[in-house]
A and B are shown apart, each in its own frame.
Chain A
Amino acid sequence: MPGNPVTYAPLLTEGQSPSVAVRRRRERAGNAFVVAGAAVVLVALLAIPLFLGASILAWLPLPEGAWSRLGILIAGSAKAATCALLLAVPLALAAAIFSAQFASQGFRSWLKPGLEILEAIPTVVLGLVAFATLSPWLKHNVATLLALIVAIPVLLLAAGFAFGGAFRRQVGWLPLWLAPVLLAVVVAMIAVLGPLQKDAIVPPSPWNAVLVGLALGLAAIPMMFSVAEDALMQMPSTHVQAALALGATRWQAIRSIVLPAARPGLIAAFALGASRCLGETMIVLMASGNTPIGDPNPLAGLRSISADLALGMPEAAPPGGAYRTLLLAALVLFVLTFVLNLLAERARAHVRRTHAAPALA
């Protein structure tokens, strides 16, 4: 620079100031800690299958009958999960459709925390209710349960046709009015039908898949509901408005536009729910009877992988045959739930991608 003096002190460079060195060291330590934390997470995820796989490999061959026992356990888990999903999928999906398409903002702000509370209730408590209260009742009232399952939807449909028009205005809060009515109807039916059909159908075991399905299904609803609701709300309302303008009813618009578009999200909800039901332990432990029989009858008992692990592992000592079989069962359970979770993540990523694109344009 010709002739113009510089007025400020030279800039500090590396090695010139001790306090800078201290800050540099602290920064490096902080970074190391952060990376260590993330590394622990990765290691933890890998640790589970690696440990299980390594242990099994180290102690091959597996004892006699390990695979057939595993087969029974898998069948048991599948039976429990199926019964639970039979209850949870229709309820969660229908409730999600209502919440996404028909509910008022006010009602949604009641429904969401309500389901969050249900999700917060520990499953051991649900298992207790199933074991101590539901089971004695179900033992003598299987026919009543069947009647309820058939009658309630029919009544709802009929009520819809009969009163639908009158309640068109307050559709947003409809469930709040329906809930006490529903409870009253259920209680009335139980009281009336109870003595009439007593012991008409006798379950082979008071602790069975139906019992598990009721409790486990209820436990799985909140998570499936929130994923499904997210999926159903992705669809911008303009598309639905367009369909309505063309003369479709709200329901036709939902069926033809919203549901197909939300399909990946709904698949994700189903996969997550299935994974949850397969992995659940306490409800199955308390309500399934833990009988290792391969009986497809939903009114008979079952033994799931998770229950077998909970009951068997404290007793089994490594490297005995029982211990190895249980490790194998744990590995199978891990792989099953992992695959389902992966499926769900894929589906949700797909949803994020397809709905992010328009925003950039």
Chain B
Amino acid sequence: MRRGSSGEGALWLCAGAAAACLAAIVALLVWLGAAGLAPFWPAPIVEIGLADGHTLLGEVAERRGSTLVIRGSERERIGGAYARIEADAIVSRDTPRDAFAVTLSDGRRIFGRGDPPAADALLRSIPGANASAPAEWPNAHGLFGRMGTFLRDAGRFLVASTMAPSLAGGAFPALVGTVVLVFLMSLIVMPFGVATAVYLHERRGFAASLVRSAIANLAGVPSIVYGVLGLGLFVHGIGADVDRWFFADRLPVPTFGSGGLLWAALTLALLTLPVVVVSVEEGLGRIPPGLLAGSLALGATRGETMWRLLLPAARPALLTGLILAIARAAGAVAPLMLVGVVRLAPALPVDGAFPFLHPSRQFMHLGFSVYDAALASPDALRGIPRAYACALLLVIVVVALNLAAIVLRNRLRERYRVLEG
């Protein structure tokens, strides 16, 4: 039976392709997890003795082949105390138990040796330095101590503010900005998406097919083009007009004439509209027609049937659409770069001052933080690990949302199998 083997090779190629895809996904996720969590694992403080007699006290920032980069005390500016050492220049290497590290309020790291009074003295010797947290002695910790520090630092990343101008510190403002943006977007996209889906469900005819192909084409437009529309039409167009009519006293400082939360939410709403429409229409289509007939036979109008019976019955589909739209918005960075996202916002878009939500403010976004930390960080050796940490957080949120949507979709199928059965 040699005949069969002429196809075996091709079969294995195809299987190999599928295997490669799976392997790539797994490898990517594992790498993201490792690179994203690594920055929080407390690094030991090392004391390096060099051939020329100097000693360096600091932490290992990077290890590339046989070259070591050590971050020493950043007395002047952040990123200003790196030393690149070749392996063969190292005479001694030690992790002294009394070595401590202090993180300043602008993200700088200061290292020294001694006990707490010595740490205070060192701190006072640096002009204008405030500690953002008490000094720490990482080398004295055992495994459990290190795990505790790891959890604490990871937690702090989620709730602490970002430090200016170094972008060290937490991702809380970026998280808040992303959440508020997505919330505003949902308020805009859901009514229009549901309305369009209802329209497509009820009408046939030329207009309906036009709308349907419009949806299909909108889905394929690159996200950056939406950004251009947002910038050109909303910001420079409508925004400038709004400024002239309502905020003329503040000109030339723009209120709505520059990028901000409102325009970004509008732009993203346009971007995610097809996702919502497709999901809701599919959900409405799954409802058995007997329900519509039953409702009409009771004397309900079509509109009443839709509002009181069909849309509530399609609630899982509405939720799925919303979740997928949110997941898409969390990951769409390109259009936001044009309509209002900034590296470091002076204030959160929500605060205690009326009207509590400020749609003209600029905001931070988790996805943009990834890009910004990687490419535009003042300190590249801090930027990349930070980018990975933000990326891991973003991926966790997005994947969780997508999994929720998958579970909901399955529950939807079950529910309608019961109805029809």
Q: Contact flags (1/0) for A111-144 with B, using CB distance below 8 Å?
A: 1011111101111111111011100100000000
| Interface locus among B7-15, B91-99, B147-155, B289-297 | B7-15
| Interface locus among A64-72, A293-301, A326-334 | A326-334
| Interface locus among B76-84, B107-115, B209-217 | B209-217
| Interface locus among A154-162, A235-243, A352-360 | A154-162
B195 touches A37 (CB 8 A): yes
A156 touches B16 (CB 8 A): yes
Q: Does A153 contact B (CB under 8 A)?
A: yes
Take A122-B395, A125-B395, A250-B7 as given contacts and tell me if A282 and B338 are in contact as well, using a CB distance cutoff of 8 Å.
Answer: no
Q: How far is the CB of B149 from chain A (nearest CB, A)?
A: 25
Q: How far is the CA of A44 from the CA of B371 in the complex (A)?
A: 29
A48 touches B20 (CB 8 A): no
Q: Contact flags (1/0) for A236-263 with B, using CB distance below 8 Å?
A: 0000000000000111100000000000
User: Which residue of chain B has the shortest Cβ distance to A214 in the bound complex?
Assistant: B24
A218 touches B224 (CB 8 A): no
Main secondary structure of the interface of B (DSSP, over half): helix
Q: Does B374 contact A (CB under 8 A)?
A: yes
Q: Which of A314-328 contact B (CB under 8 A)?
A: 314, 318, 326-327
Q: How far is the CA of A125 from the CA of B394 in the complex (A)?
A: 9
Take A27-B303, A160-B8 as given contacts and tell me if A133 and B31 are in contact as well, using a CB distance cutoff of 8 Å.
Answer: yes
**In the complex, which residues of chain B have a beta carbon less than 8 angstroms from the beta carbon of A94?**
13-14, 16-18
B218 touches A40 (CB 8 A): no
Interface size on A, residues (CB 8 A): 108
Q: Which of A332-352 contact B (CB under 8 A)?
A: 333-334, 337-338, 340-342, 344-345
B222 touches A278 (CB 8 A): yes
Q: Does B388 contact A (CB under 8 A)?
A: yes
B224 touches A279 (CB 8 A): yes
B11 touches A251 (CB 8 A): yes
Contact of B225 among A128, A272, A279 (CB under 8 A): A279
B14 touches A128 (CB 8 A): no
A42 touches B222 (CB 8 A): no
B331 touches A123 (CB 8 A): yes
Q: Does B398 contact A (CB under 8 A)?
A: yes
Interface centre among A45, A116, A337 (most CB of B within 10 A): A45
A165 touches B8 (CB 8 A): yes
Q: Does A221 contact B (CB under 8 A)?
A: yes
A275 touches B220 (CB 8 A): yes
Take A34-B199, A45-B214 as given contacts and tell me if A281 and B228 are in contact as well, using a CB distance cutoff of 8 Å.
Answer: no
Q: Contact flags (1/0) for B399-411 with A, using CB distance below 8 Å?
A: 1011000100000
Q: Which of A274-292 contact B (CB under 8 A)?
A: 275, 278-282, 285-286
Q: How far is the CB of A16 from chain B (nearest CB, A)?
A: 16
**In the complex, which residues of chain B have a beta carbon less than 8 angstroms from the beta carbon of A95?**
14, 17-18, 20-21
B211 touches A38 (CB 8 A): yes
Q: Does A82 contact B (CB under 8 A)?
A: no
B12 touches A133 (CB 8 A): no
Q: Does B236 contact A (CB under 8 A)?
A: yes
B214 touches A41 (CB 8 A): yes
A132 touches B374 (CB 8 A): yes
**In the complex, which residues of chain A have a beta carbon less than 8 angstroms from the beta carbon of B214?**
41-42, 44-45
Q: How far is the CA of A133 from the CA of B387 in the complex (A)?
A: 12
**In the complex, which residues of chain B have a beta carbon less than 8 angstroms from the beta carbon of A204?**
none
B19 touches A337 (CB 8 A): no
Q: Which of B1-47 contact A (CB under 8 A)?
A: 3-29, 31-32, 35
**In the complex, which residues of chain A have a beta carbon less than 8 angstroms from the beta carbon of B116?**
none
A127 touches B371 (CB 8 A): yes
User: Which residue of chain B has the shortest Cβ distance to A307 in the bound complex?
Assistant: B224
B16 touches A117 (CB 8 A): no
Q: Which of B358-395 contact A (CB under 8 A)?
A: 367-368, 370-371, 374-375, 384, 387-388, 391, 394-395
**In the complex, which residues of chain B have a beta carbon less than 8 angstroms from the beta carbon of A285?**
334, 371
Q: Does B273 contact A (CB under 8 A)?
A: yes
Q: How far is the CA of A175 from the CA of B384 in the complex (A)?
A: 34
Take A48-B221, A123-B331, A285-B371 as given contacts and tell me if A153 and B11 are in contact as well, using a CB distance cutoff of 8 Å.
Answer: no
Q: How far is the CA of A269 from the CA of B28 in the complex (A)?
A: 24
Take A98-B15, A281-B222, A342-B217 as given contacts and tell me if A183 and B194 are in contact as well, using a CB distance cutoff of 8 Å.
Answer: no
B residues within 8 Å of A by Cβ? 3-29, 31-32, 35, 64, 191-196, 198-200, 202, 207-208, 210-211, 213-218, 220-229, 231-233, 236, 259, 270, 273, 277, 301-304, 306-307, 327, 330-334, 337-338, 367-368, 370-371, 374-375, 384, 387-388, 391, 394-395, 398-399, 401-402, 406
17 additional A-B residue pairs with CB within 8 Å, beyond A120-B327, A124-B331, A334-B225: A31-B303, A37-B198, A41-B196, A42-B211, A98-B11, A98-B17, A99-B18, A122-B332, A123-B331, A157-B13, A182-B20, A251-B10, A251-B11, A281-B334, A285-B334, A333-B222, A345-B217
List 21 contacting pairs A-B, 8 Å CB cutoff, sorted by A: A31-B303, A34-B196, A37-B195, A45-B218, A52-B232, A116-B402, A120-B331, A121-B28, A121-B395, A123-B331, A123-B333, A125-B395, A128-B371, A156-B13, A165-B5, A252-B6, A279-B223, A279-B225, A338-B220, A340-B220, A341-B217
Minimum-distance CB pairs A-B, first 5 = A37-B195, A279-B222, A122-B331, A251-B7, A164-B8
A residues within 8 Å of B by Cβ? 23, 26-27, 30-31, 33-38, 40-42, 44-45, 47-48, 51-52, 55, 90-95, 97-99, 102-103, 110-111, 113-118, 120-129, 131-133, 136, 152-153, 156-161, 164-165, 168, 171, 174-176, 178-180, 182-183, 218, 221, 225, 249-252, 272, 275, 278-282, 285-286, 306, 309-310, 313-314, 318, 326-327, 330, 333-334, 337-338, 340-342, 344-345
